[in-house]
Chains A and B, each alone.
Chain A
Amino acid sequence: MEIIVNGDPLEVSEGITNIEELIQELRLEKKSLIVEHNQTILKKEKHKDTAISEGDRLEIVHFVGGG
């Protein structure tokens, strides 16, 4: 299945059905990050309940240095 993450296409392996699994697949589960799924910003506790489907658009952002 192909989804769009941060503007680029990403091929997601079979068996990845929700956001939490995707984050684990990317080995980012220990990171402080924020996920927007089809323009809905998700609290972390929603990652598990949010299913991923073909063509979904995700933004995965984090805090970086700034003034």
Chain B
Amino acid sequence: MLQVGNYTFQSRLFLGTGKYPNYDMQKQAVDVSETEVLTFSVRRMNIFDPDQPNFLEKIDLKKYRFLPNTAGAKNAEEAVRIAKLADGSGLCDMVKVEVIGCDKTLLPDPVETLKATEILLAEGFTVLPYTSDDVVLARKLEELGAHAIMPGASPIGSGQGIINPLNLQFIIEQASVPVIVDAGIGSPKDAAYAMELGADGVLLNTAVSGANDPVKMAEAMKLAVEAGRLGFEAGRIAKKEYAVASSPKEGISVGE
């Protein structure tokens, strides 16, 4: 069971909703993933196209918690505004603080992320900041009262997997709030690895929506997150430099 603020989840997989080939496939992928948390962005509506479809209309709103992001914000002020707009929907009080500080790498702005987190916490939001894998920054976000820490595995959408497992491990060890590894996951291996390191959850989007078969990949990610978590809970063996035989050395009937 994963607890973030006042919310509890059976699933440790959070799923993004961007860039799927079509809504039907997306709906199937979301179903198969068994996720309980869906992320969204907030954007201006085309007010002259009342017939435009929206993914929210395709799903049972009661089945999911919504985690709107503040993507598009370049500073704390913009992030706070986007969070408040999302809150205006009446659908959620969780927010993923995402303040991008570099257009090329899409890495987060640490100073503005801290500021936005502080303001939104004071406003009563359940705040999950997307951050780099900086250990001290993660600690400072937790000290502010963030309800979870969401360090990136590697740049958003890059699919490069976990570039700095040591930093993630440090962040996980020091945190007393959930750590959700967010961004950069490329394959089920990466998701399982994050969970084996002790992450409380994984948030991914492109790894599923951009896969050749998003529905199959959604299932793969669900299983990977579960397998990684079970492995973490079971406790892996220590690594040794040389071989240690699995079979007994006594009672061998050949070679005498």
Name A's B-contacting residues (CB within 8 A).
5-7, 10, 26-28, 31-36, 41-44, 59-67
Rounded to whole angstroms, the CA-CA distance of A16 and B220 in the bound complex is 52
Residue from B17, B54, B85, B203 in contact with A34 in the complex, judged by beta carbons closer than 8 Å: B85
Residue in chain B with minimal CB distance to A32? B56
Given A42-B88, A67-B69, A26-B16 contact (CB < 8 Å): no
List the A side residues contacting B39 at CB < 8 Å. Answer: 66-67
B91 within 8 A of A: yes
Given A28-B50, A66-B39: A33 and B45 within 8 A (CB)? yes
In the complex, the answer to whether A32 meets B50 with C-beta atoms within 8 Å is no
Query: Can you pick out 16 interface pairs between chain A and chain B where the beta carbons lie within 8 Å of each other?
Result: A6-B44, A28-B45, A31-B50, A34-B86, A44-B90, A62-B42, A62-B54, A63-B40, A63-B41, A63-B42, A63-B55, A64-B42, A65-B40, A66-B18, A67-B16, A67-B204
The residue on B at minimum CB distance from A41 is B88
* Complex interface residues of chain B between 57 and 101 (CB less than 8 A to chain A): 57, 66, 68-69, 71, 84-91
Q: Once the chains bind, are A63 and B47 in contact (CB under 8 Å)?
A: no
Query: Could you tell me the distance in whole angstroms from the C-beta of A5 to the nearest C-beta in chain B?
Result: 6
Residues of chain A within 8 A (CB-CB) of B16 are 65-67
Cβ B206 vs Cβ A67 within 8 A: yes
